[in-house]
Structures are given as structure tokens and as C-alpha cells.
Amino acid sequence: MTAKIIIDTDPGQDDAVAILLALAAPDAIEVLGITAVAGNVPLNLTQKNARIICELAGRPDIPVFAGCDRPLAHPLVTAEHVHGKTGLDGIALPDPRMPLQDTHGVDFIIATLRAHSAGTITLCPLGPLTNIATAFRTAPDIVARVKEIVLMGGAYFEVGNITPAAEFNIYVDPEAADIVFKSGVPLTVMPLDVTHKVLTTRSRMTAIRAIGSPVAHAVAAWTDFFERFDMAKYGQEGAPLHDPCVIAYLLAPHLFTGRHINVEIETTSSLTRGMTVADWWGVTDRPKTAVFMGDVDAQGFYDLLTGCLARY
């Protein structure tokens, strides 16, 4: 069965690879639309980058919407130090010719969930959760209509990447994350514990480069760019491809293992704001709110990614 999804994203090179992976598998995934959110870079760039990626994929027909330009309660924090000034540094790609849709991204999410049968649409957030939380707050009737949310965000064993306690996507908008994690929608979470295992090693990137297409060339150039930051930071070979884990899970869930546990978001402490407090060891009787992934077959992930990218 084809999964109908909305990708909510702040591209970002790893978001770009996730979008390319989803669009490479139309037999398994139907992308109903892409909603951009402020995150890695401001919204004017994330919406533009989403369209650049669709055109690179040969899919200017995918509707792209601009969503929220700032978090619910705090000023926007961006990550140009990782992703570069444009968010897609590493290769110069042409400005998009496909239009940005007039509708606000949040309105698109609401209208799409109302227009389709309940339980048929999966939301795939790859950035801060501002758009999703705003949609849930504005139109509470849509919450029960969501089939599931598969998102990249948070960490337990790896703790933080933007502060010692918090992962970037959750840290940027913890109030939004709190709304989503408390929504009751079935949640599958790809935290840093998983994404830090899918590293762009030399041999994996050689296999992608060997595809020889413009898409493969762009993916290699992007990973070359952002891995310099993670390699210096973590002293390892290659960088994590965070966001593609979300799409890989839809295509091959058997690659991932995790636990169904309680996960809560810290919103008040100035020291640990944005922390995903995950009850991995089951030490409370708080309700189980999310499947929190802990491990991945990393080579299986790269075999899947390389095979899909070779379709372009």
C-alpha cells in the first residue's frame, strides 16, 4: 500500500536527501505536499530550498507551501554553522522556477487532513514542530485524523547537539514539540541515538558518487559540505544523515528497532530546554506516548538510500 505523506521540513542538506529519497519511491510513498518551516535557516530560504530540491528531483508538480516563520514562544534559532548561509551550501543549484503555493502551509495541512479519510495520512516532520503544532491548535478536529507522525528529533543516550541537553529540532520550538508529543497521535521518533549511527563514510559516499547522476552529484556535494562540521565535532568518519531516517523507516521499518515509551518535552528549564525526557528504562508509570528508536541497520539504510538515488 502506498503511504500518503506530508513532509514538513527546514532544508537543510539532510532534509534534501530525505525529500529525494521519498520522491524516488512513488511506488511506496505518495508525497501530497511539502510544507516549509523556519529552522536550519529562515523560512524564505527553506521554502525556496524545498522547491530547488523538487526541481532537482524532476518533480516541479509537488506543491510546496511556506508555513510558520518563527517558533511559538521564542525567537528563532538557526544552524548556518552546520548547513551554511543558504541551508543548502555545497553546490550551486539554479533558483527554482516552480511557484510557491499561495496557501499557508498550516492551512494546507489542515485542509488535506480534512479532505482525506481519517487514518490515511502520515505526517513526516524533519524540522522544528511549529507547523504541526499550529495546525493541531488551530483545528483540533484534525488530530484524530492523522494516521501517524514519524519525525526526526530528540535524543536520549546522545543527549544534545545544539545544547548539552537538547537536539536542534526540539530545542528550536519546545512548546510546539510539547503539543505534538501530548497530542495522542501515534508517534515514531528518530532521535540522535539512531541518526548518529548512519554516517556518511568514504565507502558509502563512493557508492553514491558512482551513480554519476546530477542528483547523486548534489548529494555527495552536500554531504562533503556539512560533514566537515560533524567530523570536527565528533571526530568520526562522516556525518549523520538525520532526516532521511524518517523516510527510510516508511520504506523499510525492519531496519530500525526501538521501544514504546513515555517521552516528555522540557519547556521551562533554561538549562535543559528542549530536552526529550525519554523513559527508556521504564522507571515511571507515565503513559507510553512514542516509539523511540534506539538502533538502526546502518548499512541496510545506505543500501536502501543508494538504490533509491540510483533511480534518478
Site residues for Ca ion, 15-44, by CB under 5 A, read 15
Span of 68-76, 92-100, 160-168, 288-296 interacting with ligand BDR by CB under 6 A: 160-168
Q: Which of 7, 55, 4 is nearest to 28 (CA)?
A: 4
Asked whether position 227 contacts ligand BDR by CB under 6 A, the answer is no
The 23-42 contact track toward ligand BDR, x by CB under 6 A, reads -----------------x--
Q: What is the DSSP string of 133-169?
A: HHHHHH-GGGGGGEEEEEEE---SSS--SSSSS--HH
Q: Which does 161 bind (CB under 5 to 8 A by kind): Ca ion, ligand BDR, none?
A: ligand BDR
Helix (H) or strand (E) holding 290: strand 290-296
> 262 or 276, CB closer to Ca ion?
276
Asked whether position 12 contacts ligand BDR by CB under 6 A, the answer is yes
- Total interface residues for ligand BDR by CB under 6 A: 15
Catalytic residue flag (residue 242): yes
Site residues for ligand BDR, 74-103, by CB under 6 A, read 79, 82
> 169 or 289, CB closer to ligand BDR?
169
The one among 110, 121, 126, 218 contacting ligand BDR by CB under 6 A: 126
Asked whether position 167 contacts ligand BDR by CB under 6 A, the answer is yes
Burial class of residue 143 (count of CB atoms within 10 Å of its CB; 0-12, 13-18, 19+): middle
Q: Which of 153, 161, 160, 162 is nearest to 188 (CA)?
A: 153
42, three cell numbers: 529562515
Q: CB under 8 Å to 285, separation ≥6 — which residues?
A: none
Asked whether position 155 contacts Ca ion by CB under 5 A, the answer is no
The one among 3, 88, 121, 126 contacting Ca ion by CB under 5 A: 126
Span of 9-17, 26-34, 138-146, 175-183 interacting with ligand BDR by CB under 6 A: 9-17
Answer yes or no: are the C-beta atoms of 230 and 239 closer than 8 Å.
yes
Span of 12-20, 252-260, 274-282, 294-302 interacting with ligand BDR by CB under 6 A: 12-20
Side chain identity, residue 168: F
Using CA atoms, how far apart are residues 212 and 204, in angstroms rounded to an integer? Answer: 14
> 56 or 142, CB closer to ligand BDR?
56
Site residues for Ca ion, 230-249, by CB under 5 A, read 243
Asked whether position 173 contacts Ca ion by CB under 5 A, the answer is no
Q: What is the DSSP string of 73-93?
A: SS-----HHHH-SSSSTTS--
Collapsing DSSP to helix, strand or coil, 64 comes out as: strand
Residue for grid cell 538549562? 271
Span of 8-16, 48-56, 60-68, 205-213 interacting with ligand BDR by CB under 6 A: 8-16
Collapsing DSSP to helix, strand or coil, 203 comes out as: helix
Asked whether position 16 contacts ligand BDR by CB under 6 A, the answer is no
CA distances (Å), 88 to each of 11, 82, 100, 276, 279, in order? 7, 10, 18, 27, 35
Q: Catalytic residue numbers?
A: 242
Residues lying near ligand BDR in the complex (CB under 6 A) are found at 12, 14-15, 40, 79, 82, 126-127, 152, 161, 167-169, 242-243
Residues lying near Ca ion in the complex (CB under 5 A) are found at 10, 12, 15, 126-127, 243
